[in-house]
Amino acid sequence: MYTPSQIFVKWEEIMYIVMIGAPGSGKGTAAKILAKELNLPHISTGDIFREQIKENTNLGIEASKYISKGILVPDDITIEIFKNRLAKDDVKNGGIFDGFPRTMAQVKALDEMLVKVNKKVDLVIELKIPDDVIVQRILNREVCSNKECGAIYNSKFKPSKVPGICDICGSKLVARVDDTEESIKKRIKIYYENLGGMIEYYREKNILYSIVPEDPTSDKASEQAVNSVLQKINNR
């Protein structure tokens, strides 16, 4: 399902794409697939935060205070870390943003960052998944411990061939420390609280695709969503 019905985006003009979706919606997986298809860098604020926390940086220490409680990291911290990432060379010709922006303050900040380099957000993809499916996805989520791989599995919907072992690189699979039911529900609630203004803002700009996968419980739901986006754009 797509809204609005008319999106005036030319395939060859797409450079900066924003992925929107609740935690566990599969937007990260979809972003990785789309990044590969378009040969664009996948920029995940979640990955950046986890890296900062692991390295025990000042930013990581501050971010962990919120992440461990299932609370959205404040705008000032998030905007600053994203601004630093956007300044790197590999993002000069485009990128797929996963986890940023999440609030209207971040939306405005992103616009300002891109305007300074004569760029703009070209396409926004909203992946819509039922809340009950999201909870089950996250509670059963397993992630490859090898950061260079980062493959994501689900013991219920998309299990690895060998329990606890990544099919791709053979590394150990781990659960994220913030993947508790209480934390998940809190994150979903926060997501919806911030969503309305963002959706309307991007809809008015006529760059929004809202997609509901045919079978959100399928282990191919993210792939189906990406294929729908590629088909929609290629047909224009």
186 flagged as catalytic: no
163 within a domain of the structure (yes/no): no
Domain membership flag for residue 143:
no
Predicted pLDDT at 17: 93
Q: Is residue 53 part of a domain?
A: yes
User: N- to C-terminal Cα distance for the chain?
Assistant: 17
Catalytic residue chosen out of the listed positions 27, 32, 137, 158: 27
In whole angstroms, give the CA distance from residue 159 to residue 24.
Answer: 15
Question: Catalytic annotation on 27?
Answer: yes
Dump strand ranges (E) for the chain.
Answer: 16-21, 42-44, 95-98, 123-127, 141-144, 152-154, 173-174, 208-211
Please give the structure tokens belonging to residue 132: 């009950």
Among 85, 102, 137, 158, the active-site one is 102
Tell me the helix, strand and coil percentages in the chain, rounded to 5: 45, 15, 40
- To the question of pTM greater than 0.85 for the whole model, the response is no
Cis peptide before 4 (omega within 30 of 0): yes
Question: Domain tally for the chain?
Answer: 1
The residue annotated as part of the active site, out of 119, 128, 176, 232, is 176
**Measured in whole angstroms, how far is the alpha carbon of residue 164 from the centre of its chain?**
24
Nearby residues of 74 by Cβ (< 8 Å), 6 or more positions away:
66
CATH of the domain at 195: 3.40.50.300
pLDDT in tens, 167-185: 999 999 998 777 788 888 8
Number of H helices and E strands in the chain, helices first, is: 8, 8
**Residue 52 lies inside a defined structural domain of this protein:** yes
Q: Which residue has the tokens 């490859």?
A: 144
Q: Is 159 a member of any domain?
A: no
The one catalytic residue in 50, 85, 141, 158 is: 141
The sign of the torsion formed by the CA atoms of 178, 183, 189, 190 equals: negative
pLDDT digits (tens, 9 = 90+) for 94-131: 999 999 999 999 999 999 999 999 999 999 999 988 99
Closest CA to 78 of 96, 94, 93, 98: 98
Q: If pLDDT is split at 50, 70 and 90, which confidence band does 75 have?
A: very high
Give me the domain span that covers residue 46.
14-129+182-216+223-229
Q: What is the pLDDT of residue 7?
A: 43
* Phi, psi for residue 40 in degrees, rounded to 5: -120, 150
Tell me what percent of the residues of the chain surpass a pLDDT of 90: 34
How far is CA 72 from each of CA 66, 79, 116, rounded to the nearest angstrom? 6, 12, 27
**Residue from 50, 137, 158, 187 carrying the catalytic annotation:** 187
Q: Are 158 and 151 in contact (CB under 8 A)?
A: no
Q: Which two tokens stand for residue 28?
A: 């990260």
Q: Is residue 205 part of a domain?
A: yes
Does 85 participate in catalysis according to the annotation? no
- DSSP lists the bridge partners of residue 91 as none
Q: Is residue 211 part of a domain?
A: yes
Distance (Å) of CA 180 to CA 103, 107, 138, 187, 209: 23, 28, 8, 10, 30
Annotation marks residue 141 as catalytic: yes
167 in any annotated domain? no
